[in-house]
Amino acid sequence: MKHWVQAVLEDAFWSRNALSEETIRDLRRIAELIENSGVHTYRTDELCDIGEELSECGNLTELSELMWQAASATGFQNFAIFVIQQGSSGAFRSRICTSFKDSWVARYQEKSYQFIDPVIARSASEDGWFLFSELHSNAPMIESFWEDAENFGVGRNGLCFSISRKDGARIGVSFSTANTKEKVDALVRLNGYDLQFIAHLAVDSFCYTSRGPSLPDDTLSMKELRFLYTLASSPDPTEALEISAGYGSNKALQSSIRRKLNVDTVFQALTIVAAKGWFNQLPFDQTEVSKPFPALAGLGANEPFPIELDECPDPAIPQLSSDQDA
């Protein structure tokens, strides 16, 4: 016996007559089952294979090849994965992974287009996806950017996903083409859902492969964190390297910090610790407590404030008696 889904689809495909209400109802049910299922069903076997390999990707070279395959399989010419915001998990060794030609990448860097590119600007403003054709702008600088891109064979139409991570990082994933807006609209209708899923897999892989090894929050001791915090807050870091004896031997602390974080200098370590937010673990220190009002000499905590005779209340002013409510 055939599965009822197969029977409904065959009836819909081979029927020469108008579809019955029952068949239409069954087709809608099939669509709902696919949409609400926890398993992602790709449109093609090729995209399914790409998705599975992306989930196991171990380096940027492999990631780049898989994303180029995904772009080509869905009708696009180029892809780009780019860092919009750094997160607290550490800096990225690579901030862009793309299939664009070296000539365009060099031109992009030369002109500092990252500060002009409307795709990056839109990606930085909110999560979600958008079409390049939605980026309406009559600014001459923006139009000049697109014209320059077209001179290098880079199209002004495409699709972009902006994805935020739990650590505060935000990554963009774009697919572009020299095809028309109408062609891109058709490609997105067919492949947009799959590309969104692939974009999230690509971001997971990119964050894993382009960052250094993950460091647990307790990598450094409190003494080491306190030493780095003193260094960071000192008006003279050079002098700070020679003090802080209360936290232990400076040379021993510096050596331990460099070894644990695999860096050459304590200033590199300071950058990592600040980015990860580890200073938030430090308890308040006595030297960090500010007392804007000096203590009243000679008064205990519960002693009344003495009033000099020349500071007595004016008898002409009505006073609150002791038996009245304040």
Domain encompassing residue 253: 222-283
List, as one string, the DSSP characters of 81-111.
EEEEE--TT--BS-SEEE-S-HHHHHHHHHT
Give CA–CA dist 267/169, Å, rounded.
23
Task: Residue 245: count other Cβ atoms within 10 Å of its Cβ.
Answer: 8
Phi-psi region of 144 (alpha: psi -120 to 50; beta: other; left: phi over 0): alpha
Residues 97, 229, single domain; the answer is no
- Predicted pLDDT at 43: 83
Residues 110, 233, single domain; the answer is no
- Predicted pLDDT at 326: 44
Instruction: With cut-offs at 50, 70 and 90, classify the pLDDT of residue 18.
Output: confident
Give CA–CA dist 118/115, Å, rounded.
8
Give the contacts of 217 (CB within 8 A, at least 6 positions apart): 276, 278, 281
- Predicted pLDDT at 186: 92
Residues 177, 56, single domain; the answer is yes
Residues 200, 107, single domain; the answer is yes
At 174 the three-state DSSP class reads: strand
Residues 84, 167, single domain; the answer is yes
Residues 62, 191, single domain; the answer is yes
| Tens digit of each residue's pLDDT (9 = 90 or more) over 79-121 | 999 999 887 766 677 889 999 999 999 999 999 999 999 999 9
Residues 202, 258, single domain; the answer is no
Question: What is the distance between the terminal CA atoms of the chain, rounded to a whole angstrom?
Answer: 88
Residues 95, 205, single domain; the answer is yes
Instruction: With cut-offs at 50, 70 and 90, classify the pLDDT of residue 71.
Output: very high
Number of structural domains the chain divides into: 3
Residues 31, 50, single domain; the answer is no
Residue 308 lies in a domain: no
Radius of gyration of the chain (CA): 32
| Tens digit of each residue's pLDDT (9 = 90 or more) over 221-264 | 888 888 888 888 777 766 666 655 554 557 788 888 888 888 88
Residue 314 lies in a domain: no
- Predicted pLDDT at 212: 59
- Predicted pLDDT at 304: 58
List, as one string, the DSSP characters of 136-148.
----HHHHHHHHH
Choose one of 159, 183, 209: the last residue of a domain.
Answer: 209
